[in-house]
Structure formats: structure tokens, C-alpha cells
Homo-oligomer: A and B are copies of this chain.
Amino acid sequence: MYLNVLSQCTPVPLFDGMWRDPGDRSATGYRSLDYWTWLAGRLEAACVDALFLADIHGVFDVYRNSWRPAVRHGVQVPVVDPMLVVAALAATTRRLGLAVTYSTSYHAPYQCARLFSSLDHLTEGRIGWNIVISDTRLGVRAGLCEYLPHDDRYARADEYVELVRRMWEESWSDGAVVRDAERDVFTDDALVRAVRHQGSYFHMDTPHSCEPSPQRTPVLYQAGASARGMAFAARHAEVVFVTLAGPKTGAEQVERLRGLAVAAGREPDDLRILHGTPFIVAESAAAARVKADAYQELTSTEGQLAKWCQWSRVDLDSYPQDADAFEVIGADGGSITAFLSQLDGERSWTVADVRRLVATPKRPHRYDRHMLFGTPAQIADRMEEWIERTGIDGFNLFPCPPTGGIDDLCDLLIPELADRGLVRRAYDPAERTLRERYFGAGRARLRFDPAATALRPA
């Protein structure tokens, strides 16, 4: 079973209001290396596979058509840049995998390729790239990009990923760097080639600036829920984040993803599929309920609305409250139909109903029977059940609250999983790189690369 832990370099990675937990240190720690060193050190001591740092650019501004609610409640703002935190953690950890979000929408492919090659060198092969395709409306306000409609964003991202993979895989042959002092040859330039590309969105005519790193291409992570997103993940990703509604529909989603990978010419287990989920664990079920109740009290109502409206691209404040929620069309084609169908597609929902639902603090132990909630043994049972019934390969865990959740995970849950033989008690020294941790010793490099192959110059 693979375990990733999600965090983000912002006071409240996911659970709005949780920075108010008296024991939480994320409100100041998110910008402090002492905090990140502590957090990564705990995960490494517990032999977690990878820490994954999410990221956003710009400030959420759909709700009330204003960035003020997000700023007021610390909803993914302020931030620090996670690439820099990962670089620092390269110095303070030795084995922990480090995966980080980097958007294809905001930065040149050259820069992406250079940064991840650099990180792969500095971490000695422990780096993963979570490929995201961003909401360009935020990027436009930040001066980071031009506006693009949804489908064009995916077409552009396809070209982007193919281009950076060529930089990593094709520009420098193994053995190009000879460091031959006698002949004054640092690199045998006959083994280096320029990446020549004239595409719809990008152009390039230069060699990659970095020598091959241990993994060359970072482990490619992706989360995509839409049809286009799943196709993208099946084509490019090695580790896929999914959020499954329940074991039954989850099994179908996992099967569909592996099917898409096979259709793209890959093996079904070339994808490691991780279910993303919060967890609340305590030594007794009663203590877990107390914890959940406390968290519920801390939830920021307006913070939840700011985040939910951003994600759905529907400003619940701007419609008549008695309007039919199924009819609401948000910015950039945003809609809440899919969200409502997940809940109860049969009943009717007004905007006010949805707003009430979103703003009401969740009671995890009642709201979601599939959630990882309870004692370590209860949660371990549920995790085993998830894996058996859906065919996922592991979990992407959301600590709640950000600081205490790390302690709970390392002190309570992981020892139980290790006792059951579900997770490692020590990193395998034969698996030197992050890719080998997912796919076995000796497989430090990308196995199959249909996209890059297709682009190879004749």
C-alpha cells in the first residue's frame, strides 16, 4: 500500500478554519523552514512514500466576485512557493519522496524542465511532478497567462508535457557528460541534441540546460476528474490522484482509468492510483468523535464558501437564492450539476439549499460513511476494504488539522498499518529513486513514452 501525504505551503491546506485548532502550528509554520523540516522529518521517520505539496497561483475571487473572503479566512492565501520548500527539504531529508504541483498554464516549458531536472539532481532522484492545468482566469489577473477555454487548456498541456519530456529524455544521451580533463572535454557534444519544436503553443530550438538526472523525468503525478482530465492522466501520469465517492463507483472509476491507460499503449499497472481522503484518527472511537466535533466547530463557514465557489466556478452569492441549482451556469462554463448528482440527483435543489449545504460544517463521522474515521484499527480495516473493493494502490492522505494530523498519522495510524504488514517499516535501499519506490528497483526511468516517441524528429 502506497502512502502519500498531502500538504500545501499555506496556513490551511484543505480544511478551512483548522488553523484555529489550539495545537496547530500551520498558521505561522507554513512559511518557516523549521516547521517543514519537522513535518518532513516525521514523515520520513515513519517511512511514508512521499510528501506531496499542492499549490495555487493568484487569490480565489469567485465568491462575491471578490478576493476579500479568501484573504480574510486564509483560504490558500498567503502562500510560499512549494518548489523552494521542496528544495530545502532535499537538504534535510534523505529518503522521503517529494512531489510538488507545477502548473502547465503559467510557466514556460523550458523553465519547468530546468526546475525539475535541478530538483531531481538535488534530491538524488526523489522528485515527483504533479501536473496541473490551471484556471487561467486567476492567472490573467496575476499577469501570468492569457485566458484559454477549458479544452484548449488541455490541448496546450498535452503539447507542454510532450515537450518537457523530450527535454528530459532526448536531449542528452547517457554518457554525454565525460568530464575528460586531459582532452578538455566536459561534455561530448555529439551526444547532445537540440530540442526543435514548432507547435501550436510553444517553440524551442536549444538543448536542455541540464545533464541527465537520476530519474531524468520526475515521477509524473496527475489528478483529473473530467473526461479530458482522465484521458490526460491515462496518457501521461504514473501516479494518479483520485477522489472516489465510495467503494462501488470507485471500482468503476479505477477500472476505467486503467482501461484508458491500456488504450494509450500502457500496462494497467503502469498507473499507481491513490485515493485522496482526509482521516481523523484517535485512540478510541469516542475520542475520534470528540476530535471531529472540535474540528466541526472550528470550520470557517465563509472560508468553505470561498473555496467551494472557486472550485465550482459558481458564485452562490450572485444568483436568486430560490433559483434551481441545476440551471446555474458559472464563469467559464462552471456548473454544479455533477456535484448535486453525487449527493442526490433525484431531488431538486435551490441555490439556497446548496449554499446551506456548503456552508454547514461537516461532521465527518456522520456525513461520509466511507471516510477514514475512528481508531487506528477501524481505519486500517477501512483502508484494506477500499483497496480490495476498488483496486486502488494506496492513499493520498489529508492531515486534519495540518499539524496534529501529522502526529496522529505517525503516532497512531502508521504503526497499526505496519503491524498488519501493509506498509514498510524501513525504506528499501535498493529503491534509490522515487520511481523505483512505486515500480520496483531498477526502474528509475520512464518505462514507456508514447507521447515523446510520437514527437521524435524523423
Contacts and interface: CB of A to CB of B under 8 A. Distances in A.
Given A81-B118, A115-B84, A119-B84, A71 B189 contact: yes
Interface stretch (A180-188, A313-321, A409-417, A434-442): A180-188
Contacts of A276: none
A207 B111 contact: no
Name the residue in A32, A33, A61 with the highest tally of chain B Cβ atoms < 10 Å from its Cβ: A33
A115 B115 CA distance: 13
Interface stretch (A137-145, A244-252, A278-286, A364-372): A137-145
Interface of A: 9, 11-12, 17, 19-20, 22, 27-28, 31-33, 37, 57-59, 61, 67-68, 71-74, 77-81, 83-85, 87-92, 106-111, 114-115, 117-119, 121-122, 138, 141-144, 172, 177, 179, 181, 184-189, 192, 194, 197, 202-207, 209-211, 213, 300, 302-303
A67 B33 contact: no
Nearest to A71: B189
Nearest to A114: B81
Given A19-B186, A177-B78, A122 B71 contact: no
Contact of A106 (B74, B111, B144): B111
A142 B204 contact: yes
Which of A184, A185, A204 has the most chain B CB atoms closer than 10 A to its own CB? Answer: A184
Contact of A206 (B73, B83, B141): B141
A300 B183 CA distance: 10
Contacts of A92: 91
B202 A143 contact: yes
Given A33-B91, A67-B206, A117-B80, A111 B122 contact: no
A189 B90 CA distance: 35
Contacts of A185: 72-73
Given A19-B179, A85-B118, A87-B88, 17 more contacts: A9-B118, A12-B186, A27-B186, A31-B118, A33-B90, A72-B189, A73-B185, A79-B209, A80-B117, A81-B115, A83-B84, A88-B90, A88-B122, A106-B111, A141-B206, A143-B203, A184-B302
Which of A59, A118, A138, A303 has the largest count of B CB atoms less than 10 A from its CB?
A118
